[in-house]
Amino acid sequence: MRKWGISVIVFLLGTHPLLAQVDTTEVDLNHLPAPRLFQIACAQCHGPDGRGYPDGAWRELTALRVPPPDFTDPLFSSLEPLADWIGVIREGGKPYGLSIQMPAFGEALSEEKIRELAEYLKSLGADPRYPPGELAYPRLLNATKPFPESEALWIVWQENRPHRPTIRKATLYWAQRWGPRRQWELKLTPEWSASSYEALEVEVGFKQALAHSLSAQWLLSAGLEAAFYLKGNEPWSLQPYLTGIKGLGERAALHASLRLLYEPTSEEPALLRWVLGGQLLMANRARLLAPAIEWVGERALASGAPLHHRLVPQLFLTPPRRGHVALALGVEFPLHRQASYRYRLRGFLLWEFLEGPFWEGW
Ligand code: HEC
């Protein structure tokens, strides 16, 4: 039978005057149902309804230095994998890059009780329209990410060509959740060649999650992007796409996307591009290391020009404990003859801004 440690009780009594009325000394918390346990052990910081005092009253009512989250918010609730919440309740906030004021309950509560509490918290914000965060597999360099995200990326791209100057692009990319299943995005891509500024591409996009299943680990989305040049002579384009993900157990995932690049004003108006990717997932709490390989194929639809394809080995990693900042690096090798380039270096730096400031949680 596990009992509360004296230090936890003293700590809790100190956090909120209401708790002084609860005699926890001889209660085995593991016998309480999750909602009751929440009231005794969690509500003084998370609020009696799990909303964490969204009116800002947490400043007066608690001794917290960061606002506790609103567990009834379906967006917040859907984004956090259940396993992470179980981990935070067991080990406390610190190993997850969260506030050290979130205590560890692994000593006081059984593993089953912790899971029950985490599931209870999930039920507060449950809304089946929102795709669950478990399906937000790490972004690959070519396949379009199916999960609707709120994140900012800095994407770099360099093409090394035989006997010609290297081309460099750096994209600023901003994606924002919009409702339960949608996302809009904006990309700005300046392009340099031999240190002269050649072009500026602007792209706006929209994505919608079509269907998903958490138990079968898949998510399918569709989207449309429009790209045009503010500087440079490239034609404008419309790009409808379908993209999906299928998890294979805990440690692997398959990515696939199919995109039509439609350039009404160019000689080759329609190009089909498909991407197949395999990814391994090595997780340590919220931190992740994910090596992957993609096969990218491209074919012009009208002329029946030969298939162009390439292989892209790559690595994705999240250095901070909170897992909200990630880095990816990869190389593209052309597999067809007469490729116009030797190889391309690709990479991005990613920040999920809903998870907090860039510099916190390392
Ligand atoms: C002394 C105050 C305090 C108590 C008691 C407390 N928490 Fe927390 N908890 C926090 C704070 C503060 C955060 C937010 C940490 C952050 O955002 O950096 C948090 C975060 C969490 C999170 C992670 C949410 C996320 O951002 O992913 C979970 C899950 C959670 N608490 C569950 C519980 C449960 C269950 C209990 C009771 C068994 C509990 N907490 C008791 C202060 C507390």
pLDDT in tens, the chain (362 residues): 344 443 444 444 444 444 434 445 556 889 999 999 999 999 999 999 999 987 888 888 888 899 999 999 999 999 999 999 999 999 999 999 999 999 999 999 999 999 999 999 999 999 999 999 999 999 999 999 999 999 999 999 999 998 888 889 999 999 999 999 999 999 999 988 877 888 899 999 999 999 999 999 999 999 999 999 988 888 899 999 999 999 999 999 999 999 999 998 888 889 999 999 999 999 999 999 999 999 999 999 887 777 889 999 999 999 999 999 999 999 999 998 788 899 999 999 999 999 999 999 99
Predicted pLDDT of residue 6: 37
Residue 85 near ligand 1, beta carbon < 6 Å? yes
Residue 351 near ligand 1, beta carbon < 6 Å? no
Token couple for 226:
């429009």
Long-range Cβ pairs for the range 304-313 (8 Å, 24+)? 305/268, 306/336, 307/336, 308/334, 308/336, 308/339, 309/334, 309/335, 309/336, 310/334, 310/335, 310/336, 311/335, 312/141, 312/142, 312/346
Residue 324 near ligand 1, beta carbon < 6 Å? no
Predicted pLDDT of residue 53: 84
Token couple for 14:
């100190």
Measured by CA distance, the residue closest to atom 14 of ligand 1 is: 68
Predicted pLDDT of residue 275: 98
Token couple for 182:
């949608």
Predicted pLDDT of residue 170: 93
> Relative to the CA of 66, which ligand 1 atom is closest?
12
Instruction: Enumerate the β-bridge partners of residue 124.
Output: none
- Is the Cβ–Cβ distance between 30 and 113 less than 8 Å? yes
Among candidate residues 34, 89, 46, the one with its CA nearest the CA of residue 71 = 46
CB atoms < 10 A from the CB of 276, how many?
16
- Is the Cβ–Cβ distance between 201 and 234 less than 8 Å? yes
Measured by CA distance, the residue closest to atom 36 of ligand 1 is: 42
Residue from 102, 107, 321 whose mutation best tests the ligand 1 pocket (most atoms within 8 A of CB): 102
Distance 7 CA to ligand 1 centre (A): 18
* Full set of structural domains in the chain with CATH: 6-124 (1.10.760), 133-355 (2.40.160.40)
Side-chain-side CA neighbours of residue 141 (13 Å) = 29
Q: Report the chain's C-alpha Rg in angstroms.
A: 24
